[in-house]
C-alpha cells in the first residue's frame, strides 16, 4: 500500500520540463522529430514518448542523422509523426497514439541511418523529474503506517468481538503451505519481469517502479527491505484477513445470509478493496485483486499466520528481483551515454580527431 501511495504521489507531483542540447549547423536544419516547442513550459508529444507513460523520469537518448537541406528531409520526422498519429509534434495531445508515433519516428530514424547519416549530429532530450521521497523517511513512515494498521486491527477485533482475534490468528504458521502459496505469485512476478518489453501494460508498471519506487527502496539495504516486507505482510494481512474478513462475514451472518454465499462475497469484496488500495495502473489493480483473492483463500484454508508469512516472503523476494531487474534509470543512462564530445566507440569528437 505504501509503495503504491508513493508511486501515485510521484505521478501527481510530476511537472517535468523538457530541454534540448544540440550542436546543429543551423536552426533550419534541425530535425522536427526531435525539436521541442520554443516555450519550455509545455512538453512535446515526442518528449512524452521519450519519457514513457509516466512522464516523470530523467531520460536521455542520442538521435543520430545528418539531415538533407531540402524541406522534405528537414521535416521528415514531423512527416513520420503525422503519418503515424495524425499530428506533428506540438503541445501535449492526450489523444495521440503514442505507440504509433514511436513506430513512425523510429522508422524515420532507421531510414536516415540506412542512408549513412549516422551520429553526425546529436540532440539530447532531457526531462526533469520530481525529487523522490527520502528513503529513510519512506521506510519509517511505512513502518509506522503498518504498526497502526496491525495494532488497529487487533484493537478493533477485541472491541467488536471478532474471533479469533488478530494476535491469536497469527500464532500458527504452516511453512510448507505458505511456500506453496507463494509459487503462483512468483510465477506472475517472473512473467512481469521477463515480458515487460513485450507488453505495454507491463512496461507501464515497470516504468512507474523505476521512477517512483526503486529510488526510495534501493538505498534501504537488506535490513530496510526485510523491515518493509515484514510490515506489509503482517500489517496488511492483520487488517484485511485478520479483521475485515471475519468481521464482514459475521455481519452478513447476523443478517441471515447463507454461510457459503457470505464467505464468497466477503472474499471477493475484500480482495477488490485490497486491489484498489494497491492500484497504480488498471493492470496492477487486476493483479493486486488476484493476489488478494489468493491471500484470502489461504487465510480461509491455512490460517492468518500462514497468509501473513506468504505475503511477507513474496514481498521480500519481489523487492529483491525488482531492484536487480528494474534498476533506476539514472544509473542506466549514465552507462549508456558517452561523455560529451566523444563517440560511442570511445574515440574523441570529430574536431579532436581532426
* Model pLDDT for residues 20-32, shown as the tens digit of each residue: 333 333 333 344 4
Q: How far apart are the first and last CA of the chain?
A: 58
pLDDT at 340 over 70: no
Predicted local distance difference test score (pLDDT) of residue 139: 94
Q: 16 with 43: CB under 8 angstroms?
A: yes
Predicted local distance difference test score (pLDDT) of residue 2: 77
Q: 265 with 245: CB under 8 angstroms?
A: no
Q: How far apart are CA 100 and CA 308, in angstroms?
A: 44
Facing residues of 348 across strands? Answer: 342
Q: 148 with 286: CB under 8 angstroms?
A: no
Predicted local distance difference test score (pLDDT) of residue 112: 54
* Model pLDDT for residues 86-127, shown as the tens digit of each residue: 544 444 444 445 555 456 545 555 555 555 554 433 333 334
Q: CA geometry: angle at 171 spanning 166 and 177, to 5°?
A: 105
pLDDT at 346 over 60: no
Predicted local distance difference test score (pLDDT) of residue 252: 94
Q: How far apart are CA 216 and CA 325, in angstroms?
A: 16
pLDDT at 247 over 80: yes
> Is beta strand 123-127 parallel, antiparallel or unpaired with respect to 62-63?
antiparallel
Backbone torsions φ then ψ of 225, nearest 5 degrees: -65, -40
Instruction: Give me the chain's average pLDDT, please.
Output: 73
Q: How far apart are CA 336 and CA 26, in angstroms?
A: 27
- The residue with greater pLDDT, 343 or 189, is 189
Give, in order, the Cα–Cα distances in Å from 244 to each of 97, 106, 262.
Answer: 42, 51, 13
Q: How far apart are CA 83 and CA 75, in angstroms?
A: 12
Q: Is 345 exposed, middle or buried (0-12, 13-18, 19+ CB in 10 A)?
A: exposed
Q: How far apart are CA 78 and CA 115, in angstroms?
A: 18
Residue length, the chain?
A: 354
Whole-model pTM over 0.85: no
Predicted local distance difference test score (pLDDT) of residue 21: 33
Beta strands in the chain (DSSP E): 18-22, 62-63, 123-127
Facing residues of 259 across strands? Answer: none
* Model pLDDT for residues 287-316, shown as the tens digit of each residue: 999 999 999 999 999 999 999 999 999 999
pLDDT at 33 over 50: no
- Give the SS3 label for residue 325: helix
Predicted local distance difference test score (pLDDT) of residue 29: 39
Sequence-separated (6 or more) residues with CB below 8 Å from residue 332: none
Q: Which three cell numbers stand for residue 105?
A: 519516428
**Cis check: omega of the bond before 164, within 30 degrees of 0:** yes
* Model pLDDT for residues 200-237, shown as the tens digit of each residue: 999 999 999 999 889 989 999 999 999 999 999 999 99
Q: With pLDDT > 90 as the criterion, what percentage of the chain qualifies? A: 51
Q: Which three cell numbers stand for residue 246?
A: 471475519
Predicted local distance difference test score (pLDDT) of residue 115: 54
pLDDT at 163 over 60: yes
What is the spatial order of strands in the sheet that 123-127 belongs to?
18-22, 123-127, 62-63
Amino acid at each position: 500500500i505504501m509503495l503504491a501511495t508513493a508511486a501515485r504521489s510521484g505521478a501527481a507531483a510530476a511537472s517535468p520540463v523538457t530541454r534540448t542540447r544540440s550542436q546543429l549547423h543551423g536552426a533550419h536544419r534541425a530535425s522536427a522529430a526531435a525539436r521541442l516547442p520554443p516555450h519550455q513550459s509545455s512538453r512535446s508529444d515526442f518528449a512524452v514518448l521519450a519519457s514513457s507513460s509516466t512522464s516523470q523520469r530523467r531520460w536521455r537518448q542520442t538521435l543520430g542523422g545528418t539531415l538533407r537541406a531540402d524541406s522534405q528531409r528537414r521535416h521528415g520526422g514531423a512527416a513520420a509523426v503525422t503519418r503515424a498519429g495524425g499530428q506533428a509534434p506540438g503541445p501535449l495531445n492526450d489523444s495521440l497514439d503514442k505507440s504509433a508515433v514511436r513506430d513512425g519516428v523510429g522508422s524515420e530514424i532507421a531510414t536516415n541511418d540506412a542512408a549513412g547519416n549516422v551520429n553526425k549530429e546529436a540532440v539530447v532530450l532531457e526531462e526533469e523529474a520530481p525529487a523522490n521521497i527520502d528513503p529513510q523517511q519512506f521506510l519509517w513512515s511505512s513502518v509506522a503506517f503498518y504498526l497502526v494498521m496491525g495494532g488497529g486491527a487487533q484493537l478493533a477485533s477485541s472491541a467488536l468481538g471478532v474471533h479469533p482475534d488478530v494476535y491469536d490468528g497469527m500464532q500458527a504458521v504452516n511453512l510448507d503451505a505458505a511456500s506453496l502459496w507463494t509459487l503462483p505469485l512468483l510465477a506472475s512476478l517472473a512473467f512481469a519481469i521477463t515480458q515487460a518489453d513485450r507488453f505495454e501494460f507491463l512496461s507501464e508498471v515497470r516504468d512507474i517502479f523505476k521512477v517512483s519506487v526503486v529510488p526510495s527502496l534501493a538505498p534501504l539495504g537488506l535490513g530496510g527491505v526485510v523491515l518493509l516486507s515484514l510490515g506489509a505482510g503482517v500489517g496488511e494481512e492483520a487488517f484485511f484477513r485478520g479483521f475485515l474478513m471475519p468481521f464482514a462475514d459475521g455481519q452478513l451472518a447476523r443478517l441471515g445470509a447463507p454461510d457459503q454465499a457470505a464467505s464468497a462475497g466477503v472474499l471477493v469484496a475484500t480482495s477488490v478493496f485490497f486491489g484498489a488500495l494497491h492500484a497504480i495502473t488498471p493492470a496492477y489493480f487486476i493483479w493486486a485483486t488476484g493476489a488478494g483473492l489468493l491471500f484470502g483463500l489461504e487465510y480461509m484454508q491455512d490460517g492468518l499466520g500462514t497468509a501473513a508469512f506468504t505475503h511477507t516472503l513474496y514481498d521480500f523476494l519481489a523487492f529483491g528481483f525488482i531492484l536487480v531487474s528494474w534498476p533506476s534509470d539514472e544509473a542506466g543512462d549514465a552507462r549508456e551515454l558517452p561523455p560529451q564530445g566523444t563517440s560511442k566507440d570511445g574515440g574523441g569528437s570529430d574536431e579532436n580527431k581532426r
